[in-house]
Amino acid sequence: MIEKTLKGKPAYWIWLAFLGMFMAVGIACYARQYLFGLGLTGMSRDVSWGLYISQFTFLVGVAAGGVMLVLPYYIHDYKAFGKITILGEFLAIAAIVMCLLFIMADLGQPLRALNVMLHPTPNSMLFWDMIVLNGYLFLNILCGWVILTAERKQVHPPKWIYPLVYLSIPFAVSIHTVTAMLYCGLPGRHFWLSAIIAPRFLASAFAAGPALIVIACLILKRVANFDAGKEAMNKLVTIIMYAALLNTFFVLLEVFVGYYSNIPGHKYSIQYLFFGLEHNGHVYNNLVPFMWTAVVLNFGALGLFAWPYARKKNEFLLGLSCVMIFGALWIDKGLGFVFAGFVPNPLHEITEYIPTANELGVTLGIWATGFFVLTLLYKIAVGVEHEVE
């Protein structure tokens, strides 16, 4: 099936070259960082995780989001998802590739990464994250490939694959739960020390992942003559809408707990995110414009989803609302959640984080790599689909 990636229209090659350009920039920037050290990033003693770990956190969600297709199709036998479930599985693969690259980019001593396996440490959540992420990656590659091969040959998939498909469902939940546990089990970080982090992560994941799939379907319909079907799209939008609503609800609960309890530690980070934090006469508010943009995008998208015309009749508005919700969730989890957890630091000093150009280059490079992988995988999936037809 890999040969399908080698034949395509000019637009396909131009798109791959476009991504390849960013990948090259990313490699160059990473080489600089590798030779100098993480000092080339905007991270500091106080904000010791930056864009790399925040992108990792967000993308784990995108990967987990694929389960919103796998679960209805395989557990509830929801036939309308038959054509696009493979898109969910392949999206998970591309997202996890990005996650692993972001982790590697973030390590101070990347050549020692295997120490995590050579000295397994079950009390560390990072150890478990390594296990579930690699497990989920493996399951998706295997299940996706076997089922697609069967479809191509017009036969039923082998029976042994089903237990693995079912296993991939709790794995999807576990990757984001364990990623939440990286944060919510740390005693000194109030903003993260909340039992709702894992459910909140899952809710936003189940909106962000399917939103990206809807966007991909709308694009594939135009460029690859691949129609996911109206029913499948409608159902996806329903899933996105409810997941995004739940996420909004969870975030508002955090705001309530912080401000009603009036405990300073519970308020600082929220204050910093949405209004800016005053300290020794200086107001620190780097993230405020981003967070309010996220609020507008979030409620704007929810409004569009609630409007039947936009949801069902107008593909431009449908795509727009998905881009908006994806953007809102990316700002919420892919920027604000991680950065604000470090403000203020344990000594109640404030250091703000601003990524450097080199760091942005690496970040863009990894995103481009992910979309490169995604494009190749979707090319295969759509190619098989056309062959069968």
21 binds other proteins per the rule CB under 8 A = no
Binding mask 266-305 for other proteins (x = CB under 8 A): ----------------------------------------
Distance separating alpha carbons of residues 270 and 336, to the nearest angstrom: 9
347 binds other proteins per the rule CB under 8 A = yes
CB of residue 127 to other proteins, shortest distance in Å: 5
Picking from 62, 56, 19, 60, the residue whose alpha carbon sits closest to that of residue 325 is 62
Binding mask 238-267 for other proteins (x = CB under 8 A): ---------------------------x--
CB of residue 344 to other proteins, shortest distance in Å: 8
Picking from 321, 73, 306, 299, the residue whose alpha carbon sits closest to that of residue 211 is 321
31 binds other proteins per the rule CB under 8 A = no
Instruction: Between 115 and 261, name the residue whose CB sits nearer to other proteins.
Output: 115
CB of residue 45 to other proteins, shortest distance in Å: 6
195 binds other proteins per the rule CB under 8 A = no
109 binds other proteins per the rule CB under 8 A = yes
Instruction: Between 111 and 155, name the residue whose CB sits nearer to other proteins.
Output: 111
Distance separating alpha carbons of residues 336 and 351, to the nearest angstrom: 14
Chosen residue from 24, 48, 261, 278 binding other proteins by CB under 8 A: 48
CB of residue 117 to other proteins, shortest distance in Å: 9
Chosen residue from 66, 72, 144, 341 binding other proteins by CB under 8 A: 341
CB 200, CB 189: distance < 8 Å: no
Distance separating alpha carbons of residues 63 and 169, to the nearest angstrom: 12
200 binds other proteins per the rule CB under 8 A = no
Residue with tokens 């691949």, as numbered in its chain: 226
Binding mask 154-183 for other proteins (x = CB under 8 A): ----------------------------xx
Distance separating alpha carbons of residues 110 and 50, to the nearest angstrom: 17
Stretch that binds other proteins, among 38-46, 60-68, 150-158, 360-368 (CB under 8 A): 38-46
Stretch that binds other proteins, among 33-41, 63-71, 90-98, 373-381 (CB under 8 A): 33-41
Neighbours of 97 (CB within 10 A): 19
Cis peptide before 10 (omega within 30 of 0): no
Instruction: Between 24 and 186, name the residue whose CB sits nearer to other proteins.
Output: 186
Instruction: Between 349 and 387, name the residue whose CB sits nearer to other proteins.
Output: 349
What are the two backbone dihedrals, phi and then psi, of residue 148, each rounded to the nearest 5 degrees?
A: -70, -40
Stretch that binds other proteins, among 12-20, 281-289, 319-327, 339-347 (CB under 8 A): 339-347
Stretch that binds other proteins, among 54-62, 103-111, 230-238, 369-377 (CB under 8 A): 103-111
Residues 6+ apart with CB under 8 A from 63: 91, 92, 95, 96, 99, 136, 172, 175, 209
126 binds other proteins per the rule CB under 8 A = yes
Token pair of 136, please?
A: 């989920």
Stretch that binds other proteins, among 34-42, 66-74, 85-93, 368-376 (CB under 8 A): 34-42
125 binds other proteins per the rule CB under 8 A = yes
Provide the binding-site residues for other proteins, judged by CB under 8 A. 36-39, 41, 43-46, 48-49, 103, 106-110, 112-113, 115-116, 118-119, 121, 123-127, 130, 182-183, 186-189, 265, 341-342, 345-349, 351
